[in-house]
Amino acid sequence: MTAVLAVLEQRDGALRKVSHEVVTAARRLADGLGGEVHALVLAAGSVRGVDALGGFGADRVTTTTAAAFAKYDAEACARVVAERVKAAGYGAVVLAASAQGRDLAPRVAAKLGVALAADATDVAVEGGAIVATRPVYAGKALLRVKLTARPALLSVRPNVFTPVSRPHPGAQETAAVDVPAGRVVVREIKAAAAGALDVAEASIVISGGRGLREPANFKVLDELAQAFGGKAAVGASRAVVDAGWRPHADQVGQTGKTVSPTLYIAVGISGAIQHLAGMRTSKVIVAINKDKDAPIFKVADYGIVGDLFEIVPKLAEEIKKAVGH
Amino acid sequence: MKIAVCIKRVTDSEARIKIGADGKTLDEAGVKFILNPYDEFAVEEALQRKEKAGAGEVVVVSLGPAAAQETIRTALAMGADRGVLLQVDKIPLDGFEVARALAAELRDGGYDLILFGKMAIDDYNHQVGPMVAELLGLPCVTSVAHLDLGVGKGTAEREVEGGIEVVEFPLPAVLTADKGLNEPRYPALKGIMAAKKKPLDVKPTAIAAGGLEVLAMTPPAERKEGRIVGEGSAAVPELVRLLREEAKVL
């Protein structure tokens, strides 16, 4: 009961970036428990990127294949993960708190009859006990919880666990499994605009609020995002989502997404408490606002006071020079 | 169409959070509680489905303290037919215990549809809906932002990173509602008056603490005092220099 299972994600045969973070968190627990990290990828065929997982601390990597795994099949995935955990007797199981992981983890928990510590931002083994830190009230408080059931099931928030180089064998194996397709069938995935990143996963997030004055003006933020060369996503405050200017998928805050990018740039956002709750764990925060007394400046590392329509295009120009795009 | 909606009483999203003297729980003094915003979408969806079908029943079920009766009354004022409160002293953090209690209540209800909000804005658990589905052996679609129901089946859209998944599912099913599914109605005065007379069944419920033991609740790390780099576009070169040389994020 000392090995840790890292349940990874792929889409269309490519491993998703969050999978490195899951292995990193699993490695931390396995080191504390004195066991191995076994990574599990469910896919229709071979998956690009699995050979790199040893570098992040995986001792074994199993690619389990079935036709049902061509697109995300929640019921088939939950069944295979739960059976694997029961058969191997893991001490802990780590998933991503991504759209897929948030759907899958509770099903696995219910099949195993154990608790799920969801959306952890820190994990540790303390005196043999597995402890997770998880934000509650959208980050207005942190809860440290001990997982008393075994296996301990956790999901980790994307972008929080920085993958570190921890060379382990990463021994590869592939095994086909016979699993019936679930009752819920994915008919299609309507892709967002080409190259569009999700605010919850991007390393740079540029969010706009009422200060943008009208929906069309978000193009200045799109241009700034492009200056970062494909690493930035454009987010929005609740006010502009409620006004129908931007889709809910882009909303940062307590009733939207909680984000932890390396760089968060708040443009024309005053900083309501529910917005701050969603972005305060960003590593560096920049605020651009015309009101020098706006609450956003209280959490920002760097602020510029003034007209965003002058500042943001200038910033895009300077960023292009600095990062060479 | 018989629809159950599971709802939760949560702290208001604008509430300031003060930690209690035990260092493990919220100090509830002076805190405003509301119907979980994602559950409002679930209630609204149920009401629209019943209205469209021209017949049926919408039952709201909540697990919570006695004060959650108010939360149920809010849903009844929106138009739900009756309420059930699984009354506990305290909602455990372990969502699986909550799911077990709800599943036991819902199991023999003969529901065509069981709706949840995709998450509660207090504990961020994102888990009770799919756990109930698993316990009841029902198909489940989470984070539904668009829904079409046909005879015995439905189609839903849910947001995933970088796109929208379109899924088909058979009924009965468990669905969890995301923002964008609909525009929840405000209870009208007539509805509020009517809600007072609607049946609300209070069932004292025993619940275990489950597998998550709270060690401590702490405030988030304070961000260190930032600074105003300057005013207007003239400050931009200095900001970029700081991001590169001091913050090292470029």
Measure CB to CB from residue B139 to each of A183, A256, A319 and give the nearest one: A183
Query: Does any domain span residue B62?
Result: yes
Which two three-digit tokens encode residue B79? 């138009």
Interface of A with B in 71-110 (CB under 8 A): 72, 74-75, 78, 97-100, 102-103, 105-107, 109-110
Three-class SS of residue B182?
Answer: coil
Q: Does B125 touch chain A (CB under 8 A)?
A: yes
pTM assigned to the model: 0.93
What CATH number does residue B147 fall under? 3.40.50.620
Query: Does any domain span residue B60?
Result: yes
Give the range of the structural domain holding residue B190, as residue numbers without chain letter: 2-204
Measure CB to CB from residue A319 to each of B215, B230, B240 and give the nearest one: B240
Which two three-digit tokens encode residue A318? 């300077």
**pLDDT band at residue B2 under the 50/70/90 scheme:** very high
What's the per-residue H, E or C state across chain A? CCCEEEECCEECCEECCHHHHHHHHHHHHHHHHCCCEEEEEEECCCCECHHHHHHHCCCEEEEEECHHHCCCCHHHHHHHHHHHHHHHCCCEEEEECCHHHHHHHHHHHHHHCCCEEEEECEEEEECCEEEEEEEEHHHCEEEEEEECCCCEEEEECCCCCCCCCCCCCCEEEEEECCCCCCCCEEEEEEECCCCCCCCCCCCEEEEECHHHCCHHHHHHHHHHHHHCCCCEEEEECHHHHHCCCCCHHHEECCCCECCCCCEEEEECCCCCHHHHHHHCCCCEEEEEECCCCCCHHHHCCEEEECCHHHHHHHHHHHHHHHHCC
Taking contacts as CB-CB distances below 8 angstroms, the residues of chain B near A192 are 162-164
Give me the pLDDT at residue A223, please: 96
Total domains present in chain B: 1
Q: For the beta carbon of residue A189, count every other beta carbon within 10 angstroms.
A: 17
**pLDDT band at residue B13 under the 50/70/90 scheme:** confident
Give me the pLDDT at residue A83, please: 97
**Which residues make beta-bridge pairs with A4?**
A37, A92
Using the beta-carbon criterion (under 8 Å), do A116 and B96 form an inter-chain contact? yes
Query: Does any domain span residue B242?
Result: no
Measure CB to CB from residue A116 to each of B127, B168, B215 and give the nearest one: B127
Using the beta-carbon criterion (under 8 Å), do B236 and A318 form an inter-chain contact? yes
Give me the pLDDT at residue A325, please: 55
Of A224, A221, B239, B163, nearest to A236 (Cα)? A221
Least confident of A269-278, B15-24, B53-62, B217-226: B217-226
Q: Does A129 touch chain B (CB under 8 A)?
A: no
Cα–Cα distance, A226 to A244 (Å, whole number): 23
Give me the pLDDT at residue B222, please: 84
Measure CB to CB from residue A299 to each of B129, B219, B223 and give the nearest one: B223
Interface of B with A in 177-196 (CB under 8 A): 178-180
Measure CB to CB from residue B226 to each of A111, A118, A300 and give the nearest one: A300
Which two three-digit tokens encode residue A1? 């009961």
Give me the pLDDT at residue A254, please: 86
Pair B116, B174: CB distance under 8 Å = yes
In our burial notation (b when 16+ CB lie closer than 10 A, e otherwise), range A155-180 reads: bbbbbbbebeebebebebeeeeeebe
B67-118 tens-digit pLDDT? 999 999 999 999 999 999 999 999 999 999 999 999 999 999 999 999 999 9
Rg from Cα positions in chain B: 21
The structure tokens 């491993």 sit at: A15
Q: Does A279 touch chain B (CB under 8 A)?
A: no
Domains of chain A: 4-176 (3.40.50.620), 204-323 (3.40.50.1220)
Q: Does B204 touch chain A (CB under 8 A)?
A: no
Higher pLDDT, B15 or B121: B121
Which two three-digit tokens encode residue A15? 């491993």
Strands B227-231 and A302-305: parallel
pLDDT < 70 stretches in chain A: 193-195, 325
Phi, psi of B118 (to 5 degrees): -70, -25
**Which residues make beta-bridge pairs with B113?**
B3, B173
Q: Which amino acid belongs to residue A260?
A: S
* Interface predicted TM-score of the whole assembly (ipTM), two decimals: 0.95
Query: Does any domain span residue B240?
Result: no
**Is the model's pLDDT at B22 over the cut of 90?**
yes
Q: Does B218 touch chain A (CB under 8 A)?
A: yes
Of A261, A269, A263, A313, nearest to A289 (Cα)? A269
Cα–Cα distance, B167 to B170 (Å, whole number): 10
Query: Does any domain span residue B239?
Result: no
Of A192, A191, A180, A198, nearest to A73 (Cα)? A180
Taking contacts as CB-CB distances below 8 angstroms, the residues of chain A near B163 are 189-192
Using the beta-carbon criterion (under 8 Å), do A319 and B250 form an inter-chain contact? yes
In our burial notation (b when 16+ CB lie closer than 10 A, e otherwise), range A30-66 reads: bebbebbbbbbbbbeeebebbebbbbbbbbbbbbbbb
